[in-house]
Chain A
């Protein structure tokens, strides 16, 4: 075989410039740098990002630097222990005041009429001393007897009269007394009745008040129940996660923290509080606001960067931000957001 020039294998390394290796290193490093820059947030901070295709589960803790994963794939927090049923405390029955007994006025004892005993006549006798004497005495006796009789009679009459008068007075007094007593009794009874009525009314009022309070409590309880039911319904309507044991994070997360991106969380929280009917959309309104939330998730400042000029649209944003005064969960730190509101996605 004759040697040809093709057999003359060139020594490759000999042909390169002396600085080639160095340049190769620089080139590789620069490519590496490019890759690093591509994945770094420097290029993520485009002025306006595309509408996200994911929805953030608001149950997961918002973090600054979420890891990769699915926001809705959170391991469900343990169900809160059902609160122990409140021990129904029987209210002590309030002792009813004993009705006061009003003592009956004792009837006054009736005064006994005093009886005056009548005097007894005296008889004098002398035998045989003198018929005259006797007669006289007899006459005297008769006279005396007669006198006595008359006196007795008068006395009796007087006494009877007196007695009658006394009786009459007594009767009158008694009648009067009786009348007064009856009057007093009647008054007492009337008073008693009035008091009883009063008490009954008070009792009725108290019963009514108690009933009203019971009804109010029942309504309140019902209201709380309704709210709980509504919340439960909302919860049950939430879509179940397809991968319940996936890591908690964001689809574009590259960080190390378990949770959802804080700005995605704020974005979704406010979006859910924003109501705007499509039928009211005219043109392409866009407004920009600047808000600051503290670490507790409370909005501490709000200002317009630019209004849309569409009064109804701007009004709807004020409502949305009012409803978003308090975020459902705290943030990792105080954060300021510039929020652009528009209807691009809706008007597509």
Chain B
């Protein structure tokens, strides 16, 4: 017995000793040291003669877009060393140790030349850590394309870093009352180059971009009935797509652009229908005495989120377009409206009325993980996703003025994009323009 005890004690001590000298160990690192990528964004430099106003505009737009992504921490340009003043369009021309010294992981360099009206911009994105060229692009255009080129390169940076292009070289359609009537307008994603598209002089509502071509659908009271119109942006051609008796509203293109979901009241009650892009009615999706409006397609095109008051208060429901099976999505709040399904995930944004004001929420398509993402004064409504699903655009009514804003998917980084005046509402984010 004593022998046994002694043995056990000896063995256990031996175990303790050997365990202490083992050199291999297992480590878990469960969060990164930093979440924002340190980026050195240098000014574009003239390849031939300097045009400071062109360069400054380019730099402003590019920085605005990249800052909005929330992915980067900008290295203070005041700390840039001599390499910032060199063109460095070749990998071998870049002094990477200088940038490493400043803690940069990514470096953007570029040059431009303006010959008459012809503008050429040559941009590079370098990985400072591995001293690699990640992406290089040469853009040729007119003097007036400088903003578009900057947006396009910002998209390219995101494409390179995330595998999914950014949504910045795009347009935002919205409704504004600048002329005294609600008309359809188009602007860049930073609010520049706003143009009016319609002149119906009554009431235009709820635009949606085709995912396949540069055209829009919207509802207009031009013929004193809420009809669904289709408009090609560049030719200006416009046609009435659906003009059934009663409502022809809230049209939304399917992800493949082949069908349109919309609300019609032709059978006496507002119901969801599917329609071909030529205006032929395909089928009815809902059949309920309640009002069914505001459809939004799932990314795979098999389901549609919509708003219905079938259980009393307006809530978001999801219908399977094949089985027509309807499932309730939201339970909290007494007024949930305007759902928008993220085109890249299972997340659905919607606005909820609480304490007299709307705020934007997101929720998983199975009803879990509901989160409020906007706070503060004013009503935030009509959320719509950017085509890459990373950002949202929405309208804010602060009681005096209605304006268009954009923010990141988690609600951070909100900024106003529509110019002052005009009561802007109902934004929609286009695909690559």
Residues of A within 8 A of B (CB): 22, 25-26, 29-30, 33, 36-37, 40-42, 45, 47-49, 51, 64-65, 219-220, 222-223, 226-227, 230, 263, 266-267, 270-280, 282, 311-312, 316, 318-320, 322-323, 333-346
Contact = CB atoms under 8 A, between A and B. Distances in A.
B32 A274 contact: yes
A275 B36 CA distance: 7
B386 to A, nearest CB: 13
A343 B30 contact: yes
B129 A319 contact: yes
Given A33-B9, A40-B16, A42-B15, A48 B26 contact: yes
Interface stretch (B98-106, B237-245, B393-401): B98-106
B37 interface: yes
B20 interface: yes
B28, B71, B345: which has the most chain A beta carbons within 10 Å? B28
Interface string B72-113: 000000010110000000000000001001110100000000
Interface in B154-210: 161-163
B9 A263 contact: no
Contacts of B27: 263, 266-267, 270, 337-340
B20 A65 contact: yes
Contact of A277 (B26, B28, B71, B345): B71
Interface in B1-27: 1, 5, 8-9, 12-13, 15-16, 19-20, 23-27
Contacts of A25: 5
B16 A41 contact: yes
B260 to A, nearest CB: 30
Contacts of A42: 15-16, 19
B47 to A, nearest CB: 22
Dominant secondary structure at the A interface? helix
Interface of B: 1, 5, 8-9, 12-13, 15-16, 19-20, 23-38, 69-71, 79, 81-82, 98, 101-103, 105, 127, 129-130, 161-163, 345, 390, 408-410
27 contacts: A29-B5, A33-B9, A36-B16, A41-B20, A42-B19, A45-B19, A223-B81, A223-B98, A226-B81, A226-B102, A263-B27, A271-B32, A275-B34, A275-B38, A277-B36, A277-B71, A280-B162, A312-B162, A319-B105, A319-B127, A320-B32, A323-B129, A334-B23, A336-B25, A337-B27, A338-B26, A343-B30
A151 B318 CA distance: 151
Given A40-B16, A335-B24, A270 B29 contact: yes
Nearest to B70: A279
A33 B29 contact: no
Interface of B, helix, strand, loop or mixed by DSSP? mixed
Nearest to A341: B29
Contact of A226 (B20, B79, B409): B79
Contact of B24 (A266, A272, A338): A338
A117 to B, nearest CB: 88
B32 A316 contact: yes
B29 A340 contact: yes
Nearest to A331: B23
A259 to B, nearest CB: 15
Contacts of A344: 30-31
B35 A346 contact: yes
Contacts of A342: 28-30
A292 to B, nearest CB: 9
Given A33-B8, A223-B98, A278-B35, A49 B28 contact: yes
CB-CB nearest 4 A-B residue pairs = A345-B31, A272-B33, A40-B16, A276-B32
Contacts of B38: 275
Given A223-B82, A275-B33, 20 more contacts: A25-B5, A30-B8, A37-B15, A40-B19, A41-B20, A45-B26, A48-B26, A227-B102, A267-B29, A271-B29, A278-B35, A279-B409, A280-B162, A316-B32, A319-B130, A334-B23, A338-B25, A338-B27, A340-B27, A345-B31
Nearest to A40: B16
A336 B163 contact: no
B71 A280 contact: yes
A22 B5 CA distance: 11
Contacts of B36: 275, 277
A33 B9 CA distance: 7
A130 B279 CA distance: 171
B88 to A, nearest CB: 16
A337 B23 CA distance: 8
Contacts of A345: 30-31
Contacts of A340: 26-29
A336 B19 contact: no
A5 to B, nearest CB: 38
A54 to B, nearest CB: 14
A333 B129 CA distance: 27
B35 A275 contact: yes
Given A42-B16, A42-B19, A312-B163, A275 B29 contact: no
A51 B31 contact: yes
Contacts of A335: 23-25
B174 to A, nearest CB: 25
Nearest to A37: B12
B286 to A, nearest CB: 32
Given A26-B1, A40-B16, A339 B33 contact: no
